[in-house]
Chain A
Amino acid sequence: MTAADSASPIDLLRTMRLIREAELRLAQLFADGEVPGFIHLSVGQEGVAAGVCAALGPTDTLASNHRGHGHALAKGLDLERFFLEIMGKAEGMCKGRGGSMHVADAAVGMLGANGIVGAGLPIAVGSALAHQVKRNGAVAAVFFGDGALAEGVMHESFNLASIWRLPVLFVCENNGWSEFSPTSRQLAADPCALALSHRIEARSIDGNDAMAVHDVTRTLVAEIRNGGGPRFLECRTTRVRGHFEGDPQKYRDAADAARSDDDPIGRLERRLAAEGLPAAEIKAAERDAVARVDAAVARARAGTAPAFGDALRDVYANTEVRP
């Protein structure tokens, strides 16, 4: 296992564009009744997913949370099977059992999005334990929001990772919101101070600067891989949409949601333009994402409904369950 090569800015832009396009399309499909249940979008937070995941290798593992579409796609989850899953089809990567909050792909080390706030932390710690015991050089990473810092299992996970010096990267996407409440009202602690109090080295960065996220993550992952133990990365970012799609956000000041200057995609596009990248190439990232999402949605619409009997067979590996 070697460190991932540095991703170029245009690579990060392509990833962010794919996430943005996929999520905006999900929002439309949800509004049209083609996506059942409910979904949580990460619009405005794509810089974190793209920057962090580009610093991970294919055998590195990743645990995610309920706002996990971007994490999954940035880790390399197949786009068609992603849409098939979230639209509840048998050909989805989880055969239509999990949906938006449970996208996972063993082939790319994606341990799953998660419907329980904070639950991914000990799972990543355990995955890191496996890497350490097997001495395979891999790193486990976990994304969680600032809301998860109020969960007790956060402390247990930081503590265990620190005393065992496990190869795990804790990534806190701090968007300032714990579901419908401002985290400033919910959390007495400073995120980095929480990590530092567990003797975990911590960095806090602008999560909407995808290249900065990527560069810092590469450094942290290299330190972890070299046996340095866990690291904590706070990425300050913006939740542009509601907690879930359809959230009227009556609790939120409209100006707060509309901080368009913070958009990680716009920022990187402006930077690339300033560096002389032709406008056509910048535009191509968006066009390619739209084309890929168009094709994936078309495929997902043609997917088949899952069979109940097949679902029954996956409760256990080798034990029949009575219908």
Chain B
Amino acid sequence: MSEVRFGQAINRALADAMAADDSVVVFGEDIAAPGGPFGVTRGLLDRFGPDRVRDTPISEAAIVGAAVGAAMSGLKPVVEIMFMDFVTLSMDALVNQAAKARFMFGGQYALPMVVRLPHGGGINAGPQHSQCLEAWLAHVPGLKVVCPATVADAYALTRAAIADPDPVIVVENKSLYAVKGELPEPPPSASIGKADVARPGRDATIATYGAMRAVALDAAGLLAKDGIEAEVIDLRSLQPWDEAAVLASLARTHRLVIVHEAVEAFGVGAEIAARMADIGFDELDGPIVRVGAPFMPVPFAKELEAHYRPDASRIVEAVRRTLA
């Protein structure tokens, strides 16, 4: 067991995957010699060489498009798009090519590729470097989307994504890169599509993912002082998402709050709420409440961004509302 940062855990996962399998290659903007904009790929070039670790030009369409062709021709590419906002420039390759190749070619081709997308605010990066667009990708049949919240999951879900035979989007919250946590030895493995109970409780379920896990745990701590025991579910994977785990929790607590940093409207929370209102209808003793960002671009100024991102007090308020 050792304490490492979230970004270092991803780095270790990339290195271990590359050491285990020669077909794993890593490419993206400034990820080789500079070691990545957030240092996540530091050291990989020295260890694995310029054939397998490559700096690309600023060409998001070609990065993901080339990953598709490479995956169809025997490699397992892991590509990085510097900020999730820039995935807009890769959407044909992701949505029309990667997501559909297995299906539309009748299962002849597997696409074992990973696209790493740093998302989220909290660093005053402004409207084009802070967005959480994961719901777009979770909406596309053929893509998988995971979003680790802990150091252990940063490692385990990255390895699971690389090992997966289908295209997997790994969404990494930028505000987590420097967070320290325990990475067990040997490092853990994870199954895509399985949620974790981050904190058990009997009174209300808070389903969340990514950076909001810690915020939800803070909220649960505040609620506990008033005798309200909230159960925090860390989804870990958004497509597929662990419907059974959320339903099981709802069956214990009968109240559901869904929390994400992404804009609330038409988001991951909307899908979970709709499913639980359907298959979990008999379990519900209160309204399903969502906590997300307001329907506006991510603002730059500190005061504005702090107000924009969901915080513990908003989650506490939401739990109290469903319990009222």
Contacts and interface: CB of A to CB of B under 8 A. Distances in A.
A92 interface: yes
Contacts of B108: 93-94, 104-106
A316 interface: yes
A126 B142 contact: no
B38 interface: no
Contacts of A163: 57
Interface stretch (B65-73, B125-133, B206-214, B298-306): B65-73
Interface in A85-126: 85, 92-98, 102, 104-106, 111-112, 114-116, 119, 121-126
Nearest to B56: A160
Contacts of A127: 69-70, 72-73
Given A123-B68, A129-B75, A319-B144, A153 B103 contact: no
Interface in A149-174: 152-153, 156-157, 159-160, 163-164
Contacts of A189: none
Given A130-B75, A318-B165, A123 B97 contact: yes
Contacts of B70: 126-127, 129-130, 133
A317 B65 CA distance: 21
A69 to B, nearest CB: 16
A314 B97 contact: no
Interface in B276-305: none
A318 B160 CA distance: 13
Contacts, number: 154
Nearest to A59: B73
A61 B109 CA distance: 13
B51 interface: yes
Nearest to A166: B66
Interface in B26-74: 51-52, 54, 56-57, 59, 61-62, 64-74
A133 B52 contact: yes
A131 B73 contact: yes
A134 interface: yes
Contacts of B72: 61, 111, 123, 126-127
B166 A130 contact: no
A119 B66 CA distance: 10
A130 B144 contact: no
B57 A160 contact: yes
Contact of B65 (A105, A106, A153, A316): A153
Contacts of B57: 156, 159-160, 163
B62 A140 contact: no
Contact of A102 (B104, B144, B192): B104
Contact of B102 (A63, A92, A115, A314): A314
Nearest to B64: A122
B313 interface: no
Interface string B89-130: 000110011000111111111100000000000000000000
Given A126-B77, A131-B73, A319-B240, A159 B103 contact: no
A13 B73 CA distance: 30
B141 interface: yes
A254 interface: no
Given A133-B51, A153-B92, A156-B61, A126 B102 contact: no
Nearest to B55: A163
B25 interface: yes
B62 A156 contact: yes
Scoring B66, B74, B240 by chain A CB atoms within 10 A of each residue's CB, the highest score goes to: B66
B221 interface: no
A311 B107 CA distance: 9
Contact of A97 (B68, B71, B74, B106): B106
Contacts of A318: 165
Nearest to B113: A126
Contacts of A159: 57, 59, 62
Contact of B67 (A121, A126, A164): A126
A321 B241 CA distance: 12
B193 interface: yes
Contacts of A311: 103
A315 interface: yes
A126 B97 CA distance: 13
Given A119-B92, A131-B73, A315 B142 contact: yes
B166 A94 contact: no
A160 B166 contact: no
A29 B141 CA distance: 31
A98 B69 contact: no
B102 to A, nearest CB: 6
Contact of B69 (A92, A125, A152, A314): A125
Contacts of A157: 62, 65-66
A95 B107 contact: yes
Contacts of A92: 106
Nearest to B96: A116
Scoring B65, B77, B106 by chain A CB atoms within 10 A of each residue's CB, the highest score goes to: B106
Nearest to A112: B105
Contacts of B109: 104, 106, 111-112
A130 B69 contact: yes
Nearest to A129: B70
A159 B57 CA distance: 8
25 contacts: A93-B105, A93-B108, A94-B106, A95-B107, A106-B105, A112-B101, A119-B92, A119-B97, A122-B62, A122-B69, A123-B65, A123-B68, A123-B72, A126-B68, A134-B75, A153-B61, A156-B61, A160-B56, A160-B57, A163-B57, A164-B54, A314-B102, A315-B102, A315-B103, A321-B141
Given A129-B66, A134-B74, A156-B61, 4 more contacts: A122-B64, A133-B75, A152-B61, A156-B59
Interface of A: 61, 63, 85, 92-98, 102, 104-106, 111-112, 114-116, 119, 121-134, 140, 152-153, 156-157, 159-160, 163-164, 311, 314-319, 321
